[in-house]
A and B are shown apart, each in its own frame.
Chain A
Amino acid sequence: MTPECSIPQAVIAPELAWVGLAMLLPLLSACACALCAALRVKGKAPAIITIIALASSFLIIVKAYLASTGPVEVPIFQWITFAWGEGSFQSFTADCAMYIDSLTLFWMLFVTGLGTLITVYASEYMEGDCGHGYARFFFGISVFLFSMSALVLADNLVMLYLGWEGVGLASYLLIGYNYDRPSAVSAAKKAFIMNRIGDLGLALGIFMLWSNYGTLQYSELFAAMNQGGQSSVDWDLSVIPFLLMLGAFGKSAQLPLFTWLPDAMEGPTPVSALIHAATMVTAGVYLIARLYPFFELHPEALATVAWVGGSTALIAATIGMAQYDIKRVFAYSTISQLGYMFLGLGVGTTFGACYHTLTHAFFKALLFLTAGAVMHGFAGQLDLRKLSGLRHIPGWRIVSWTMFVGCVWLSAFPYTAAFFSKDAILLQALTSERADFRFLGWMGLFTAALTAYYTFRVWFRVCAGPVHFEPGSEGQHDEHDEPTHAPASKASHGAFQPHAPRWAIKGVLLILAVGALAVGLPAYNHVFAHETNWAQQMIAGSSAYQGAGLAANSHDPHLEHDAHQPTVLGMDAHTGLTVVGSSAAIGGILVAWFFHLRSRSAADQLRRALLSRWWIRWLPICMENKWYVDEIYHACFQLPLWISGQILNFGDRHFLDGVLVDGLAKIPMGLARVFRPLYGGALQGYAVTMAGGITLVLAWVTWIWLRGFN
């Protein structure tokens, strides 16, 4: 099982060390933000510093992209090096170095680019917190960007792990940004703990990789993989991808560990857009794409990835259909789209997965930012039943129409970028030789229809229809307590004035909408001008693609699928999928239009009708209650732990503490009670004790003495 593998050998290029600035600048801006917090800076200085740092690191990455020729390794400094012998398994090296290939650049381009845009947005969004949490917020963003860059640029798995934990920390800090709100605190804890479960898998996977290959550097790992592992324990090798997968599923909110992501929406919206939609949650996809060769060696691991991805996509979409909170709908759609990416990885198209990551990053960031603008303007109102007709309100047109763009993209409307990226994944699944992958492909198509429905459910409810809105309760959303706007809205009690976004928010929304259009260009070029897709080229030059080539040795998914003439519904696969995919998306949109714009009462009637029939009433109930996953986890893990905790607490309190500790302490206390009368405080009392004691001692000595003489 050592297939031909031709991952391009990385060239060592110390002259590219300036790319490391992309990592260093966010770190410096984090320090500067911390300084601002310490000096209690009142203005927007932290935001400006962060924007400048992130924009510079984006430019650096662009420059690196323009200068890149192939995989390079850039040593920066020696980080961890120690050896306890001369042999191959007797030294451990983890340098601070960068492995820059096209996959790295692909990821860094959208991470730093979106990071910059979302920071610009946040500079206006968070302005109500100037002087309070403003510096803390941008500190979190900077730490996140630093960690994410370290994760992506890393040259070895130890540095990747550093970044992996760093993004987890930043995510924790930013979800719990409103630390005086209990729900935010518990959401932060939940995210952190669920990520720890995944990270345990990742850490074990890294240990296993080291014990099998004796190195953690990508280039050496790929080379070692060609020769097979050196420790010849089969079990070890086959468990590696499963352990790595667990880490990826935790970070990317996949099936067993997805419940933290919807709760993570407690964080400020720019955080949801940047960390919990566009960048951090794609780290799992990056990890699997980067180490794709290992997954390649174990087809059953890839099948697991595909199944988990496909079922997560479906389940999250069904939950998303029944939520009323806009941000939660988008959160479940994020989980669902991440499921598509894992499905793509699993069925063997890293190109589809990575391209979908890119398109998803743009339209999902856009959607979250529009949701944030709505929340910002309507005092925290996010219930889609209480907002309507936003596009008719002056000042909200840009928000409505950029949201429309995001929704069209998310629903994979024909000939949008997301349509092509989703198409690449589903095509690979549907033309697979494995029946279960073909089933997953059909499941993905069904999910695509659901996606279109729930996406446009939001848009038709919030942006279309008659103008009607109820402001949210500002008290619950402290981030909206803006001193500048609060008097205006409070002065006119009955007539709440939504406060329309200003240039920073609108500008970023427009740029993102244009960006979402632009990420479709490579696909248009591919389809209409028959040029090679840019994303495909980027993936092809990296370890991810080479691995994908192994999967389909006989059957190259990207270039030669026409040669095999796989068919979908009797048509050529491409045409067939275009037809089916488009009808799924348009069908979903039409259903949403009917139920949520044309006759909104029909939706309630449908719900009542479903609830009144015993054989189907479980469906809406389960969907509205998120399939009771939280409750199941609560019953399976939290409750037993709570009960055992209570038992142990009881034992500790009453046995260890009560009997052992307090019981021992009672012995000297009892003794003291016997002797206490001797110390009455009267001088003669002490004298009597003393004289009596001496008498007793003398009597004893005399007795011994006399007996000794007998």
Chain B
Amino acid sequence: MNDALASGFTIASNAQLSVALMISALLFTIGLVGFLCRRNMIIMFLCTELMFQGAALAMVAFARMHMDVSGQVFVIFILTVAAAEAALALALVVLLYRRRETLSAEVWSQLGES
């Protein structure tokens, strides 16, 4: 079929793939729930990172399934972006903290309609 098969790698089975995908969905859900339930901005930020990693894990799993490295390349990019974003986001959190002396996200609601 393709070069990957010919070179002797075995294709991951459906069971293995679904384990990886379930872990990825679990990571994403933990991140999402954490993001929605917590008020601490640093925790919320960590939760977004969790959601990121969940998505990245799914990509690695699919890449392994299709024997195609482009999924893994994507993940490298995601990690890079996440690192840069972490730097920015933490800086923002520090600035926001300086203004209100609290890390709670509830104090930042001036954009509300009502």
A residues whose Cβ falls under 8 Å from a Cβ of B: 676-677, 679-684, 687-688, 691
Q: How far is the CA of A480 from the CA of B35 in the complex (A)?
A: 84
Q: How far is the CA of A679 from the CA of B110 in the complex (A)?
A: 11
User: What are 7 contact pairs spanning A and B, CB under 8 A?
Assistant: A676-B113, A681-B112, A682-B106, A683-B105, A683-B106, A684-B39, A687-B36
Q: Are B112 and A682 in contact (CB under 8 A)?
A: yes
Q: How far is the CA of A566 from the CA of B5 in the complex (A)?
A: 137
Q: Are A676 and B114 in contact (CB under 8 A)?
A: yes
**What is the CB-to-nearest-CB distance from A617 to chain B, in angstroms, rounded to a whole number?**
75
**What is the CB-to-nearest-CB distance from B112 to chain A, in angstroms, rounded to a whole number?**
2
Q: How far is the CA of A682 from the CA of B105 in the complex (A)?
A: 8
Q: With a CB–CB cut-off of 8 A, which chain B residues contact A683? A: 44, 105-106, 108-109
Q: Are A680 and B36 in contact (CB under 8 A)?
A: no
Question: Which residue of A676, A677, A679, A688 is within 8 Å of B36 (Cβ)?
Answer: A688
Interface flags, B94-112, vs A, CB<8A=1, else 0? 0000000000011011111
Interface flags, B11-51, vs A, CB<8A=1, else 0? 00000000000000000000010011101000010000000
Q: With a CB–CB cut-off of 8 A, which chain B residues contact A691? A: 32, 36
Q: How far is the CA of A683 from the CA of B44 in the complex (A)?
A: 10
- CB closest residue in chain B, given A683: B105
**What is the CB-to-nearest-CB distance from B45 to chain A, in angstroms, rounded to a whole number?**
11
Question: Which residue of B32, B37, B39, B112 is within 8 Å of A680 (Cβ)?
Answer: B112
Measured as residues with beta carbon below 8 angstroms from the partner, the interface class of chain B is 10 to 19
Contacts A679-B111, A684-B36 known; 15 new A-B pairs at CB < 8 A: A676-B113, A679-B112, A679-B114, A680-B109, A680-B113, A680-B114, A681-B110, A681-B111, A682-B106, A682-B109, A683-B44, A684-B37, A688-B36, A691-B32, A691-B36
Q: How far is the CA of A34 from the CA of B110 in the complex (A)?
A: 58
Q: How far is the CA of A681 from the CA of B109 in the complex (A)?
A: 4
Q: With a CB–CB cut-off of 8 A, which chain B residues contact A679? A: 111-114
Q: How far is the CA of A480 from the CA of B113 in the complex (A)?
A: 63
**What is the CB-to-nearest-CB distance from A406 to chain B, in angstroms, rounded to a whole number?**
80
Q: Are B35 and A687 in contact (CB under 8 A)?
A: yes
Q: With a CB–CB cut-off of 8 A, which chain B residues contact A676? A: 113-114
- CB closest residue in chain B, given A694: B32
Q: How far is the CA of A52 from the CA of B39 in the complex (A)?
A: 89
Q: With a CB–CB cut-off of 8 A, which chain B residues contact A688? A: 36
Q: With a CB–CB cut-off of 8 A, which chain B residues contact A684? A: 35-37, 39, 105
- CB closest residue in chain A, given B35: A687
Q: How far is the CA of A677 from the CA of B112 in the complex (A)?
A: 9
B residues whose Cβ falls under 8 Å from a Cβ of A: 32, 35-37, 39, 44, 105-106, 108-114
Q: Are A681 and B36 in contact (CB under 8 A)?
A: no
Residue picked from A679, A681, A688, most chain B C-beta under 10 Å: A681
- CB closest residue in chain A, given B33: A691
Q: How far is the CA of A607 from the CA of B110 in the complex (A)?
A: 83
Q: How far is the CA of A679 from the CA of B113 in the complex (A)?
A: 6
- CB closest residue in chain A, given B109: A681
Q: With a CB–CB cut-off of 8 A, which chain A residues contact B35? A: 684, 687
With known contacts A688-B36, A691-B36, A677–B105 Cβ distance under 8 A = no
**What is the CB-to-nearest-CB distance from B93 to chain A, in angstroms, rounded to a whole number?**
13
Q: Are B113 and A681 in contact (CB under 8 A)?
A: yes
**What is the CB-to-nearest-CB distance from B51 to chain A, in angstroms, rounded to a whole number?**
10
Q: How far is the CA of A676 from the CA of B111 in the complex (A)?
A: 12
Residue picked from B39, B108, B110, B114, most chain A C-beta under 10 Å: B114
Residue picked from B35, B37, B105, B112, most chain A C-beta under 10 Å: B112
Q: With a CB–CB cut-off of 8 A, which chain A residues contact B108? A: 683
- CB closest residue in chain B, given A678: B113
Q: With a CB–CB cut-off of 8 A, which chain B residues contact A677? A: 114
- CB closest residue in chain B, given A684: B36
Q: How far is the CA of A515 from the CA of B83 in the complex (A)?
A: 106
- CB closest residue in chain A, given B48: A687
Q: Give 4 closest A-B pairs by Cβ, nearest first.
A: A681-B112, A681-B109, A679-B113, A683-B105
Q: With a CB–CB cut-off of 8 A, which chain A residues contact B109? A: 680-683
**What is the CB-to-nearest-CB distance from B106 to chain A, in angstroms, rounded to a whole number?**
6
Q: How far is the CA of A683 from the CA of B39 in the complex (A)?
A: 9
Q: With a CB–CB cut-off of 8 A, which chain A residues contact B114? A: 676-677, 679-680
Q: With a CB–CB cut-off of 8 A, which chain A residues contact B32? A: 691
Q: With a CB–CB cut-off of 8 A, which chain A residues contact B105? A: 682-684
Q: With a CB–CB cut-off of 8 A, which chain A residues contact B110? A: 681
Residue picked from A677, A684, A691, most chain B C-beta under 10 Å: A684
- CB closest residue in chain A, given B39: A684
**What is the CB-to-nearest-CB distance from B74 to chain A, in angstroms, rounded to a whole number?**
20
**What is the CB-to-nearest-CB distance from A272 to chain B, in angstroms, rounded to a whole number?**
67
Q: How far is the CA of A684 from the CA of B113 in the complex (A)?
A: 15
Q: How far is the CA of A691 from the CA of B36 in the complex (A)?
A: 9
Q: How far is the CA of A684 from the CA of B108 in the complex (A)?
A: 11
- CB closest residue in chain A, given B44: A683
Q: With a CB–CB cut-off of 8 A, which chain B residues contact A681? A: 109-113
Q: How far is the CA of A683 from the CA of B111 in the complex (A)?
A: 10
**What is the CB-to-nearest-CB distance from B8 to chain A, in angstroms, rounded to a whole number?**
35
Q: How far is the CA of A569 from the CA of B39 in the complex (A)?
A: 118
Q: With a CB–CB cut-off of 8 A, which chain A residues contact B112? A: 679-682
- CB closest residue in chain B, given A691: B32
Q: How far is the CA of A688 from the CA of B109 in the complex (A)?
A: 15
Q: With a CB–CB cut-off of 8 A, which chain A residues contact B39? A: 684
**What is the CB-to-nearest-CB distance from A686 to chain B, in angstroms, rounded to a whole number?**
9
**What is the CB-to-nearest-CB distance from A672 to chain B, in angstroms, rounded to a whole number?**
8
**What is the CB-to-nearest-CB distance from B14 to chain A, in angstroms, rounded to a whole number?**
18
